[in-house]
Structure 1
Amino acid sequence: MTNTLAQKEKIYNRWIVALSILIPVAVAVLFTVKVEIPGVDRLGFLPPIYATINALTAIILVLAVIQIKKGNRKTHENLMKLAIGLSALFLVMYVIYHMTSSSTPFGGEGNIRTIYFFILISHILLSIAVIPLVLISFVRALSQRFDKHKKIAKITFPIWLYVAVTGVIVYIMISPYY
């Protein structure tokens, strides 16, 4: 690796660390902020939209893996950029919804309640963990360090896919209580 690439990667790594800390902290802080929009009780139309975005992200991740296995690097790259963009869009909508609406309590009881909270908590924790994994995977691909990209992508993919799929499951499970 040339000195310039190494320097760029160091800069990217600083950004990855900063964003990996800043994003979850900002989301947590923004959850404490409540914004009232005159004439709007709540933005209840957003959860099905961002659940759909999660579903699309999951589909795109699977398609991206299929494309890279077929050797279609450019298609894979474009699909991964789309998946990152969709994840960012999801995050913006999710934060906007929770800044303008009260949290909806889960109304299920018994085993379904335990299952729901297991899925929700694992979803939240892994959504935090996947941020640096996605960014590192992306930077390694941009740096054309495909051997290292492939190693981390094998870890990133199942976690990101789990987060996307469980996002949909959480929405389906909580939707009767909106």
Structure 2
Amino acid sequence: MRSIFIFLCLVSFNSLAKESCEIGDVGLDSESSKVEELFYVGTCHYRNQDYDKAATNWSALISNAETSDSDNELIISANNNLGFLLFFGFGVKQDQKQALKHWSYAISLGHTESEFHLCHAYADKEQPTFNLSKASMHCKKAQLIYQGIEEPDEDEKLILKKINSYLKGLE
């Protein structure tokens, strides 16, 4: 009986730990666009570690034909985020080749974090995507981006440290 009580407490706690990803709970309303809905609901699922649901939302966003210029930033970020899930196989079948395409597309539209992801993908010798010449190019570009941040937060400092480590290893 005691083990059932502990189990119920753990299940209840776990269900309380996840945030609700309903449209109103992510700060959207009936005036929000479909692109906003798919992006922010996907982001909520990502934070809840429901990676398959995040991937479903971001994939739908990317293939959504009804977009406006104001949606471009979210579409670019969704490509970056989906690339991350695909590269590491979080919630989806791992597909590093497709991840590289998403990141390259995001970079072509000015997404800076994707540059770091490509740096990692090509510079990490343990990854099947390792490519010395591409690693050097993407890591140098990522280094310039992260060195140019005036007041980097702790995550950005760690990213720059990792980039510098990759570059040192490529010498």
Instruction: State TM-score, norm by structure 2.
Output: 0.28
- Give the number of the structure with larger relative contact order, counting CA–CA contacts within 8 Å between residues 6 or more apart: 1
Q: TM-score, normalised by structure 1?
A: 0.27
Which protein is bigger by CA-based radius of gyration? 2
As a proportion of its length, which structure holds more helix? Answer: 1
